[in-house]
Chains A and B, each alone.
Chain A
Amino acid sequence: MSDNKDMISKDDMKPDPDYWRSFEELYNDPAFIESSHHEFKEGVTDDFNPGNLSGLSRRKFLALVGASAALAAAGCTNYRDKGDIIPYVHKPEEITLGKPLSYASTCTGCSHACGILVKTREGRPIKIDGNPDNPVSKGKICTKGHADILSLYDPEKLSQPMKRGNGGGLDKTDWVRVDNEIIGILKSAGEKEIAIVTHKIISPTAKKVLDDFKAKYPSVKVYSYELFNEQNRLSTWQKSYGTPNYPLIKWNEAKVIISLESDFLGTEGNKVENTRLYSEGRNVDDLKNFNKLYVVEGNMSLTGMNSDVRIKLRPDAQFEFVMSLIDELRNNSVSSLKTFGSKYAIPPGKLNNLLKDIRENKGKVIVYAGRTLPENVHLAVNYLNELIGGTALYRTDFVEYSVLPLSNKEEIESLVSSMNRGKVAAVIHYDSNPVFHLPADNKYANALKNVPAVITLCLSENESSSVSQYVLPVNHGLESWGDAKIRNGFYSMQQPVIYPIHNSRQKEAILLTWISGKASSYNLDLYHNYMMDNWKNNIYPLLKSKLNFEQFWNGALHDGVVITGNIDLPNVSGQFNSSSFSGINKSSAVSGFVVALKESYSVGDGRYSNNGWLNELPHPVSKIVWDNYASISRKTSKELNVRTNDLIEITSGSRKLTIPVNIQPGCADNTITIELGFGRTNAGTISDGVGFNANILQSKDEGLSSWIITNVEVRKAGGSYPLAATQEFHAFDKGRTKDAAQKRNIIREGTVDEYKKNPDFLKAGSEEVENKSLYPPYDEIKKGVKWAMAVDLNKCLGCGECVISCYSENNIPVVGKEQAAKGRDMQWLRVDRYYSGDPEEPKVSQQLMLCQHCDHAPCENVCPVAATTHSPDGLNQMVYNRCVGTRYCSNNCPYKVRRFNYFNYRDHFNDGYQQSPVFNLIFNPEVTVRSRGVMEKCTFCVQRIMEAREDAIRDERPLKGSDVKTACQEACITTAIHFGDMNDPSSEINKFRNHKLGYYVLEDLNTRPNVTYIAKLRNTDKEDA
């Protein structure tokens, strides 16, 4: 590797104007060029570290095999024996062996409570999808929702209640004993406080349990918190409109969306709903309503990556921006925005266009401030929306419903101080992890030492359980009953789909047992019956249903939702209080470094950090896996004299953090963006040692807001830490295929105006591909069904839902950071990300890349054992049992979508983590679990095709393309993925295949792919650039 000087001196070189994937590639970094000459990544061909291999040596293994063979022979087992068939004694009526069943429930991954359908096989949940009946999520869920199934089978879930012994370690105990002890503690609390610390409560019945708990033990106080919350937005709404009910935004009706430091398509708010509504305005067949997205932000986010116009601006300058925009619009002066633009080096064309678009689209334009921004920005944005008519896009008939508002900062601080004064008898962590989440200078963990009884209810061990006397296992969401209310107009129902795997209990039932005061009062149905009673007495009568309660209840559980109509619509219309704007603190000082803390795209606030699928999901922008990092701009990196992977030290007050940097194209200068949720300790084999805990930068005396910290000092720390990114995987040799992405038409794009003027613009420049081929003509493909996929790049946001859904459907193994760094990730589909244009303000293009199922597949004719062949319905088949692992196919695949099993990932590594028997329950029995030495790749979900075919044969009808939905297609929130039968002229897929914007990747190779891409249109004009 070259040293810093080499790298930095390359700055004067002119960057290639073509698509590039990293700064290393753009500036022809010698290390990158060197690595692109090699087939394998550095270190791949080195000898293996035996310490990482299985504990069995080859000799020992052979000895064991010999011994077991001898024993087997001695045992005289019948070699014809094929084992047993063990039927049910009583078969549950609804089960047909071999057919899956779906149950409606509610996701408990965060406080948005999306409706889910859980697919179970013989009583074993194997996949989570969205419930289409849910009025908010409408059949879609996020990556965490899909990956929640892996958390259910996490082998490190707690299996027993535990109590800290005298030696300081946790000892296993039993429920009766802990229940009796804790009831004793609660009863003797007297005047002293009993604190329940929980995440946001969204379940009305759970709220009732808490109320009952308070009634029984009067000194109970409930504190709820979220690491990322909408408190700033809500409190300013109260100031501006006199009501706490912030309205939802009609993203689908907006023509111009101006997002300020907000990742509303990635992590903020109800992402599933936002994304769906936003993508409605990205329909290339409805150009009239095509929206235009402006994003003003400090670091490249998923939303910024999808913007038409992106303005980079450090987060602490947002207030100045909003104020100068207001000034400009109110006074019609042209000076203030211009001054602002020149101060922050924003191209004037972009600002002029922004003003023009705001003025021309009154009533169709909305400004949306990110939740991490301070209150004064939100107040100014509320006023700005009044000014530009953004209020027309507020939705007043459907609003957020709060079962229990979050505690504010003062309440949490008063809890800590009463703990310190010895006024708290017991703290109950109610499936929450405040030791990790609350600002470190709260000294919450320290204060816990003054509490005689700390009780943590949790799924698996965490930072809070490590300082608790009692650690009690709770049920996973898929083992629990529940209800949820997040909006007016409906309830979402949750039911268990599997008997608790371990000796865990539902958290509400644990409280109910303590309320009863008798350990013996617990039974499995305790909370179920409580919830039914609550519904029967309190909710069912309000609904005036014509059904009797039992019918109503069964229907509610079957549907997963109860639509109530507008019996509970709160008052949302408020008059704008202009004094709220005129009274705001207008001072703003912008200097030095600013740190912006963001929620992780993969592991959320850390709750999912022990989930291998999510850790291995590449970051949508940087494509880094298994870590978080400090994102900085190129200029800042030069000032600090660091490059990607180097460590920096960030100091804010007395708080210090050392973290590696990643130089991010499109990052504002002097802005350091770090994702939270990483760096957990005591959380499990998967998560320990992954990333860095940046929560410690948060302070109770917040800077600008809890997530934007100003006045920090940053310096080079010395040393480096390798980040594993999948972004440069499969890089072509730079010399020969220099500007591959653009010249070879891998990515093809245009603007809306271009398309309006000439709908055929995409085809105009390209030459007709010669149809000559060495392959024999294959007529059978024109008969019957032929499968094809289309990916609409206008709608694809690059979020990764499809990738996680594919993990779950197709039994994809997790390979770990070390293997991922060597380019051995096993994901069957990936989202490629290309940068283009100005390296400081790049345009970003995403592309879903999966097996193209080429008619003339280059992989097929190089396989020496015919393990990959073509099926008559157009699928490129991969037969694992034939594969001998030559990897010729992968070598000959121009799309680089084949994945080779270098190891048996499930039992290779010496910790044997994935070999745990409970993990076997997650496998989809319809898909082979692959082993070491075979090639694998996307099959277009052939198991689903076969299932549809089976149903068609039974119903004696021909198989139709619309009968099959692939796992990725089902997961895609924005419906960017289409799948079907291209031989059916009336099918939807046919429309896309013949679309004017449709193209194939590497069309000139004449591989005739069956995946069509719809070219991305950017809603920009020349001045935007």
Chain B
Amino acid sequence: MSYYFTILSPTDTPIFNIAFGTSKGGGDGIARFRFPDTAQYMNQFIIHSSLDILEEAQWTNGGIGARFLLLHQPPQLPSSGSSSTLGASSLLGSSGSTTRASSSSVAANPTSPQTEEAVRQFMSEVYESFVKTAMSPFYKQGMEIRSPVFRSKITAAGKKWL
């Protein structure tokens, strides 16, 4: 199972990208997408298209608390054969819907409650470190996050939960 995690700015620009594989069950934490040649842009396409759902959900699902949406993009075929690229995207943010985080993954069973719970844990940890990073006086809203500390924290969270 591989994950592609993105934090988007309010204008949909990605401010943080990371791809990693699972560390559970003997995984080595390296992302292996089903179609490596198309994975780069397909992941972004999937994330971008999942904004549709996100957009709808943020208005229909009550207030914008720290809530999690785990949405599964149906299987689709970037090139040929049968694949199951699944996109999961999550909405984070407690005060305003200014922060969004998305992750997409190729998974054997991404619908299981265990996976969902793991993603939820991962997200809340990411959210914490994101808030810390965003509060840095040198960080302006919408800037790309380049902090290596943040990246290592995300990697660690990924290793821990996913």
A and B: real partners? Answer: no
Residues of A within 8 A of B (CB): none
Residues of B within 8 A of A (CB): none
